[in-house]
Amino acid sequence: MSIAVAPEVAAALARGGAVVALESTIICHGMPYPKNLQTAVEVEAVVRDGGAIPATIAILDGVPHVGLSSEQLKRMAISGRQFQKTARRDIAHVVGIPIFVTGGIGGVHRHGEQTMDISSDLTELGKTPVAVISAGVKSILDIPRTLEYLETQGVTVAAYRTNEFPSFFTEISGCQNAYIRTWALFGTWGTFPVELKSFLVPCRVDSPEECAKIIHANKNLDLGSGILIAVPIPTQDAASGNLIESAIQKALKEAEEKRIIGNAITPFMLERVKELTGGSSLEANIALVKNNARLGAEIAVALSNLQKKGKNRMGRSAL
């Protein structure tokens, strides 16, 4: 199958420039039109402002596209859920883009030990050498089991300027543990007094340059697995995090009562949480995606500079 690579993306890759892959799911499944189109354009602008070339990924008319035109972005935004969500995200890696920005990756669903509902994102990260920049995993998931699964897959997990794995809408993940444990202890959701536990990451990075060094080393070692760099949502945008987390718990309870499982649970949860929070979850989602894109661009530039320095040193040595 041929892959359509946008000219500016191909040119940037050919000269070893900074390129950031972006998902298209958020355009079709994440929010309504025209908010989705506005967000897609703004996220691409954030990447450009950071000195990198954005490459939004989508399959159009049966052909994988790496980098979309404004007309193609609008087509996807208007069509929305007529576009089907695909399971594999390694098209960007196939054409040589090492960095992928998204909101939050999938993971082990809550009660996954019973349902075995585990996102293919995790196994994909285990076999695809791409660095994913996200706000952790979606907060409707089971964070500790997701981290355990990533370890099993050999995925390097790092957090940006923090020691604790973030929980998408909130900067920390400890608050989620209370709800998970109350279910285990009492068989129902509730805010029972339990000890909170933070989910620490094995690696902390404090600059785009540090991130670039890890990505560069992973490539040179030819490990074959990916890297997850978790970026906490900005403090000013996490102010409503507790409200959103409460809405998530309510929506989870409703989903269980209605026996909504499998692929149907994520769209139900996103829509219900948006309703319960009066739309604040949508605004927080947009803010964290832009924040991830900003850092992704900085890492892409740092990685490009690092690789160019390496090539220059090799060239001088050859002389």
How many CB atoms are closer than 10 A to CB 152? 11
The H or E element spanning position 251 is helix 241-257
Residues 127 and 62 in one domain: no
Q: pLDDT of the chain along its 319 residues, tens only?
A: 589 999 999 999 999 999 999 999 889 887 889 999 999 999 999 999 999 999 999 999 989 999 999 999 999 999 988 887 776 554 567 788 999 999 999 899 877 888 788 988 999 999 999 999 999 987 778 899 999 999 999 999 999 999 999 988 888 775 544 444 433 433 444 443 334 456 899 999 999 999 999 999 999 999 999 999 999 999 888 756 667 878 888 998 898 899 887 667 777 887 898 899 888 888 888 999 999 999 999 999 999 999 998 777 666 544 4
Give the pairing type, strands 156-160 and 63-66: unpaired
The structural domain count of the chain equals: 2
Residues 269 and 193 in one domain: yes
- Tokens (6 digits) for 91: 């098209």
Q: Based on the residue annotation, tell me whether 148 is a catalytic residue of this protein.
A: no
Q: Residue 13 in contact with residue 96, Cβ under 8 Å?
A: yes
- The one-letter code for the residue type at 223 is L
Residues 49 and 196 in one domain: no
Catalytic residue among 138, 171, 245, 298: 138
Contacts of 96 (CB under 8 A, 6+ apart): 13
Looking at residue 131, what DSSP letter applies? E
Distance CA 153, CA 151 (A): 5
* Among candidate residues 97, 113, 145, the one where a domain is terminated: 97
The domain in which residue 182 lies consists of 103-319
Residues 248 and 130 in one domain: yes
Burial class of residue 235, CB neighbours in 10 A (0-12, 13-18, 19+):
exposed
Distance CA 57, CA 5 (A): 10
Closest among 214, 175, 225, 210 to 298, alpha carbons compared: 210
Give the pairing type, strands 53-60 and 63-66: antiparallel
Q: What are phi and psi of 105, to 5 degrees?
A: -80, 170
Residue whose structure tokens are 């490539």: 219
Closest among 109, 91, 98 to 132, alpha carbons compared: 98
Q: Report the first-to-last Cα separation within the chain, whole angstroms.
A: 41
Distance CA 235, CA 230 (A): 15
Residue whose structure tokens are 């002389």: 319
Q: Based on the residue annotation, tell me whether 74 is a catalytic residue of this protein.
A: no
Q: Sheet of 4-5: strands edge to edge? A: 4-5, 63-66, 53-60, 19-22, 99-101, 131-134, 227-230, 156-160, 203-205
Model's pTM, two decimal places? 0.86
Residues 288 and 311 in one domain: yes
Residue whose structure tokens are 């000195």: 51
Residues 58 and 112 in one domain: no
* Among candidate residues 97, 132, 162, the one where a domain is terminated: 97
Give the CATH number, domain containing residue 226. 3.40.1790.10
Query: What region does 270 belong to: left with phi over 0, alpha with psi -120 to 50, or beta?
Result: alpha
Residues 137 and 189 in one domain: yes
Residues 190 and 125 in one domain: yes
Residues 38 and 113 in one domain: no
* Among candidate residues 81, 97, 113, the one where a domain is terminated: 97
Q: Kindly calculate the radius of gyration of the chain based on its CA atoms and give it in whole angstroms.
A: 19
Residues 13 and 157 in one domain: no
Contacts of 22 (CB under 8 A, 6+ apart): 43, 44, 47, 54, 55, 56, 57, 100, 101, 102, 293
Residues 316 and 260 in one domain: yes
- Residue 182 is predicted with a pLDDT of 38
Distance CA 185, CA 125 (A): 32
- Residue 174 is predicted with a pLDDT of 58
Q: Residue 169 in contact with residue 233, Cβ under 8 Å?
A: yes
Residues 110 and 201 in one domain: yes
Contacts of 286 (CB under 8 A, 6+ apart): 31, 39
